[in-house]
Amino acid sequence: MSDLLTRRLAQLGEHANLSLLSQCLHGIERECLRVDSRGQLALTPHPQALGSALTHAQITTDYSESLLEFITPAEADPAATLADLEQIHRFAYSKLGDELLWSPSMPCALPDEETIPIARYGSSHIGELKYVYRKGLAMRYGKTMQCIAGIHYNFSLPDALWQLQQQAEGDTRSAQDYQSARYISLIRNFRRYSWLLMYLFGASPALHKGFMRGRPHQLQELDEETLYLPYATSLRMSDLGYQSTAQSGLTPCYNDLISYTDSLRKAVGTPYPPYVEIGAKRDGEWLQLNTNILQIENEYYSNIRPKRVTHSGERPIQALMARGVQYVEVRCLDINPFLPLGIDLTESRFLDAFLLFCALADSPLLESGECHACTDNFTAVVKEGRRPDLHLQRQGQPVPLHAWASELLEQIRPLAELLDQCHGSEAHLQALQAQQAKVDDPSLTPSAQVLAQLQQGQSFTAFALHQSHLHAAFFRSQPLSADAQAAFEASVAQSLHQQAELEAHEEGDFDSFAAAYQASILAVAN
């Protein structure tokens, strides 16, 4: 263990400081497709009984009208976060009729591209903007890729912890700059070590053949409708899940916040010739928000993002530049199809120890060679992470995945112990031990367990549909309390009212609104 990490751990372990670790905040965003009882994509509109997808704080849609997104508040206790997520699921199931939430990350058998419905958000200018942005995504990347679902895990450390460490280290930057720099160093370490999360929690080794739309691929056939790779952990996070020539030059290496925001500012302000050729509008109809590399910052796909809660009308880049990094959003987690919520407390507790390790450990700047090695290691694990002889690159040298994973878990152990000391339990250490068991025995990983089910003769669709029905029965068997149901009903009514108010008091035309929005991109980009 490095001297720096030892000092930071010792400081946090002091009686006066230990409670700081109980103030870390956790939030989850879980995406899932609505399907019918036969496992076909639900082509019904977003249920009005779930409220307005534009204004409801906890239930919205992501890309497609069929792709629900559930958002929890940020809570200090991850058990409370998961309880919030469970409540949202129970409420949703009280309104879904015969429809189901699809259990894995990779989508069900999809209809042709034209038929997949893009999410609609009403007639307000902001609602129309969200729709046009999604039209742009469809045109740029196709609708099929946009139907993949995942889990985003939001995590922050308390400001007081950063202030304590800044003082101890005699750092003379502003508190905001120090905190941002520490979050960026967390992200650098995440880039170094996130391959481990894909090994431990990847759960998408197979997919429905129709997902490939006849494109060439190197997947193997498991049955007439299922494709897979024998050692894959997460095809969702492979180049099958996301391909973009336009974004290929965008690889912020997270050496500081300014270089990160600069790279995104350039991308939202730089035309991309193939998109220019298509144009933003045709015959008066909007096709995409603009013809730049990115329409907006959120179009940049990454495994983790630095984040700051935005004010009304504020852009994500503006918020980061004005007030610095507030939390990180981990974006590479698959939905575990064996779990009703797609994630459980064991995974959450391990993620906390892992992210705390990333935050407190030494984090040298990423030179270009290491930056590429991080990407290569991640790619190798998502495609063949359970291959017995798989080696990764560490400081230019090959190292067996199994050996490096065990070393990393041993380095994370003191963080798990510190969290347990803070919470008066052994839950984080137990979560760590559960991960070591997966390193020792790859058959315990979710990806291996999914394949084991499929190799017993179940197609991808049959397996996923069976799990979806099990989860539906779980949520429907324990309805919400009358008070909780009433609170959700009130939030639905309020969201519909808010959308109606927006639409009733809209000023000007959409073209002017879109032009002003584009000008705000250019204003930030200069």
Give tens-digit pLDDT for 210-256: 999 999 999 999 999 999 999 999 999 998 865 667 777 776 668 89
- State CA 337 to chain mean position distance: 16
- State CA 157 to chain mean position distance: 19
- For residues 382-402, one letter each, b for 16 or more C-beta atoms within 10 angstroms of the residue's C-beta and e for the rest, the string is bbbbbbeebbbbeeeeeeebb
Q: Are 435 and 357 in contact (CB under 8 A)?
A: no
Q: Which residues of the chain have pLDDT under 50?
A: none
Contacts of 264 (CB under 8 A, 6+ apart): 250, 252, 294, 297, 300, 317
CB count, 10 Å around CB of 297?
Answer: 19
pLDDT score for 245? 74
Q: Are 125 and 506 in contact (CB under 8 A)?
A: yes
Task: List the structure tokens of 334.
Answer: 């698959």
Whole-number Å distance between alpha carbons of 175 and 179:
6
Closest-CA residue to 183 (of 308, 31, 51, 314) = 308
Q: Are 96 and 452 in contact (CB under 8 A)?
A: no
Q: Are 204 and 346 in contact (CB under 8 A)?
A: no
What structural domains and CATH numbers belong to the chain? 23-525 (3.30.590.20)
Cα Rg of the chain (Å, integer): 23
What residue type is assigned to position 303 of the chain?
N
* Extended strands (E) in 200-269: 206-208, 220-223, 226-228
Contacts of 268 (CB under 8 A, 6+ apart): 292, 293, 294, 295, 296, 297, 317, 521, 524, 525
Task: List the structure tokens of 214.
Answer: 């006849």
Contacts of 355 (CB under 8 A, 6+ apart): 155, 186, 190, 328, 330
Cross-strand partners of 67: 33
**Phi–psi pair at 111, nearest 5 degrees:** -70, 180
Closest-CA residue to 375 (of 202, 262, 239, 268) = 239
Whole-number Å distance between alpha carbons of 356 and 346:
16
pLDDT score for 59? 98
Closest-CA residue to 106 (of 29, 53, 41, 200) = 41
- For residues 7-31, one letter each, b for 16 or more C-beta atoms within 10 angstroms of the residue's C-beta and e for the rest, the string is ebbebbeeeebeebbeebbbbbbbb
pLDDT score for 251? 65
List, as one string, the DSSP characters of 345-400: HHHHHHHHHHHHHHHHS------HHHHHHHHHHHHHHHHHTT-TT-EEEETTEEEE
Residue bearing tokens 């250019």: 522
Cross-strand partners of 223: 226
Residue bearing tokens 């409370």: 80
pLDDT score for 369? 83
What residue type is assigned to position 235 of the chain?
L
